[in-house]
Structure formats: structure tokens, C-alpha cells
Amino acid sequence: MKKIIFPIALLLVGCPLSIFLYAYANGQPEYPESDIQTRLYSQILQEEREVIIHLPQHYDSTKSYPVMYVLDGSSQDKHLAQKNNILAAAGCAPETIIVGLPNVSSKGRQRDYTPPFMRTDIDEADSPMGEGDTFLTFMEKELFPMMEKNYATSGIRALAGNSRGGLLVLYSLLYKPHLFQGRLAFSPALWRDEHAICKQAAQLLPAAKGEESSFLFMSLGDEENTKMKAGFIDMMEVLERNASTHLVWQAEFTPKANHQSNADLSAAKAIRAWADFLTSEH
């Protein structure tokens, strides 16, 4: 187990070239020609899903690449793909295929990103329970095979999510820890249903023995509200007490960041930490 909290000011230590490249990448078109926008009909979800595939800048089908699946695609995938390309060009991260998964609707987002033991809308007494377990099954049984059939993937996967998407990232660690070797949770909504996900983690993490090593990065803006901070601190304490040595984890508060800006401000740091984990494991 590993817990590190330090300022975002150290974001790009050792990668000075990335500062120049970041400014360059911000001027690129919304979706470069190398990006692929496609659709996949899911028998599991009983609906068609859009998939946005960001290939590395120098993609070579004879090589193999890790894949990062990004929730809230069309919102969160672009900046993560840009930052990964920047860091890869600077030698600070591996070239990675980034896959964005857009939401079908606001209700669909609530359904897909909420664990099955939590209500999708806390303000509605008859709100349905979440179906995050079904969404992860869709990824495992339909999305992963599609990517592995059509692209040069290495079998190494990461999952990134923001806010309620970050909640699903933590749930995936408990429900299907084998699916991803890396997890990036930005401003995860851990406060929901009176910290229900933290209570589940306290019960399930101690039993997760013998799993292969995996990495978890969590960040929260230091200007986010009290309930977000309370859930975040609760999960940190749960991880401190219960995470096995097979889980390497890192948590931090991002200076001068709020709920809207935290993912963008802490993403490069998260990618670098994930890259360091991969280097240590391989």
C-alpha cells in the first residue's frame, strides 16, 4: 500500500518538454483525423453506444499499447488523450490508446455510473438502483473484445472517471478488481448515500488478497464542498486501514481546484503516476 499527498506544483518535474508540448496540443482541432468515432450495439445494455478512440500519435499496428477507458467521453477523453500524448512525447508515459465512452443521456449516466447498492437520484424516494455492475459487464464482455480484435492492445487497461464516473471507478475496484490494472478517480462522488461506497470498501478490501498488483489515483480540488471532502477523506482512511499490499494507491488535494477544474488540473499528474506504476511492475 502506498499513499502520497503532495502539491500539483510538482506535476511535471522531470518533464520540462511537456510544458511546451501542452501549449501546442491545446491549439489542436477538437478531434484530430487520427481519432475514430464509431458505434457499438450492446446486447447487454440493449442500446447503441458511441465510442471515441484516440490512437497514439505514432500508432503502429505491429506494436501493442495499453488502453485507458474514459467515462464521460466527449467531455473527459480529449484532455486525457492530449496530456498522454504530451507526456509520451516527453518520455514520461507510455503511448496509450484512449477510449472515450459518451453518455446516452443524463439518466443513462446515472444508471451506468451508480453502484447497484445505491439509488441513482438521492432526491427521489422511488429512484431506481444503479446498474454500474451491468455497465462493467458491457465493458468486459463487449467493449474489450471489440478493442482487442481491431486494435493493437497489450492487455493492460486503465479506467478513468470524474465525479459520479469516479464513483464507478472505485466500485470497479471492489466488484471486478481484475478488469483494470490502473484506476484514475477525479473528484469521486464518494459522499453519496452516506458514504455507502466507503462502507463497502471497508468490508471488501481486506478480502482482496492474492490479486495481481493494481494502481489507484484519487484527486479532489481543495475548493470543493464539505460533503465531497468528507467522502474523500473517509475513503482515504479506509484505504489506509484496509488496502492490501497488492494495491498501490495515491491520493491528493489539488490546490486552487474546484469540482469543475480538478480533473483537468490533476490529470497529467495521474497519468505520470500510472506510468511510474507500470514501470515498477514491468
The residue with cell 459487464 is: 137
| Helix, strand, coil distribution of the chain in percent, nearest 5 | 45, 20, 35
For 32, the grid coordinates are: 484530430
Of the candidates 127, 208, 216, 207, the residue with the CA atom closest to the CA atom of residue 166: 216
What pLDDT does 212 receive?
A: 82
Q: In whole angstroms, how large is the CA radius of gyration of the chain?
A: 18
Q: Give CA angle at 189 (185, 194), nearest 5°.
A: 135
Taken in order of first residue, the domains within the chain and their CATH numbers are 8-281 (3.40.50.1820)
What pLDDT does 54 receive?
A: 97
Q: How many CB atoms lie within 10 A of CB 122?
A: 12
Residue 198 contacts residue 161 (beta carbons within 8 Å): no
The residue with cell 471488501 is: 204
What pLDDT does 250 receive?
A: 97
Spatial distance between the Cα atoms of 226 and 232, rounded to a whole number of angstroms: 10
What are the tens digits of pLDDT across the range 11-51?
A: 444 554 444 344 444 444 455 567 999 999 999 999 999 99
Residue 205 CB partners (closer than 8 Å, separation 6+): 174, 238, 239, 242, 243, 244, 247
What pLDDT does 125 receive?
A: 84
* Residues of the chain where predicted confidence (pLDDT) is lower than 50: 1, 3-13, 16-29
